[in-house]
Amino acid sequence: MKTNGQQLSPLVEPNRPYRLTGKVAIITGAANGIGRAMATLFSQERACIVVADIDQPNGQAAVEEIKRLGTSAIYVETDIAKPSDAQRMVEATMNHFGRLDILVNNASVGLNRPFLDTTLEDWQHTLDIGLTGTFLCAQAAARCMVQQKFGAIINIASISGQRGAQGRTAYGVAKAGVIQLTKVMAVELAALGVRVNAISPGPVDTNQSRSTHTSATRQSYHERIPLGRYGDRDEIAAAALFLASDEARFIHGHILNVDGGYHAAGLMFEDRVADHAELGPSTIAESGLSMHKPEKANCSTKARKRVVS
């Protein structure tokens, strides 16, 4: 396949059923939660994984889990808010694997605190990790990728960076900054061979959300998300996999909302399954509930009548 005279690999190669074969991916915050789900999924698609996290015990455990899947992985202890750590993370990757194809800037910190109660320390800590850390890791990785003339960077933003919400002063601003950073990076790095996109998750079922989201928060989300539930971390990982793969090679500077329709929603007043849904995506199916039950479709060509104008 050729585009503008350039030879491109086909979307599906007969002898390469895996989507990330031979690629090396750094995933920050991969010791737990969404980042760990990404590391597992990427490794299943035959990427080599760099688990970059400040949590050494769980980071090492993630590496062992990946190795059991038959893929190479290393752990690099990384405080993404420190420039030296971001640089060391990339250097360790190049020293071990000799290349860097993918960076997923997943590491962040949550904060749910009203504007009037947010301290300068709260503000600085949240932005240091959620925004400055993303900048530092992206810059270190991009400098390497530019030398290679290829690479993909995926920044994890949040729907809180696009919509105002109670208690999201520092966190929302950090994620809004990540979104704008993604767009600027995309403009500047395109000609240098580096693709840049972002994912904006809605509420996701993780240990962090289980500990910080009150019952009132959960009810509010269930009422405002058209799909009527929290997302699953594997669903965010699947979106990252797509953006990291060659299938997304013409997607650049995009902010992908993975939020069950939350950002799109306006007035909703019908009774919905969300009133009964739990966090996990399988709950509705297991309970037998459905948002709607369409009649069985007849897709046979014999059943369709040709309309002649």
Residues tagged active-site:
171
Residue pair 169/113 in contact by the 8 Å Cβ criterion: yes
User: Regarding beta strands 48-53 and 73-77, do their DSSP bridges make them parallel or antiparallel, or are they unpaired?
Assistant: parallel
Q: Which residues of 271-303 are buried (b: 16+ CB within 10 A; e: fewer)?
A: ebbbeebebebebbeeeeeeeeeeeeeeeeeee
Residue 95, class by beta-carbon neighbours within 10 Å (0-12 exposed, 13-18 middle, 19+ buried)?
A: exposed
Of 103, 83, 189, residue with least CA distance to 146: 189
Q: How large is the C-alpha radius of gyration of the chain? A: 21
Sheet of strand 151-156, all strands in order from the earlier edge strand to the far edge: 73-77, 48-53, 24-28, 102-105, 151-156, 194-201, 255-258
Per the listing, tokens 């290393």 go with: 74
Question: Cα torsion for 266, 269, 271, 272, to the nearest 10°?
Answer: 0
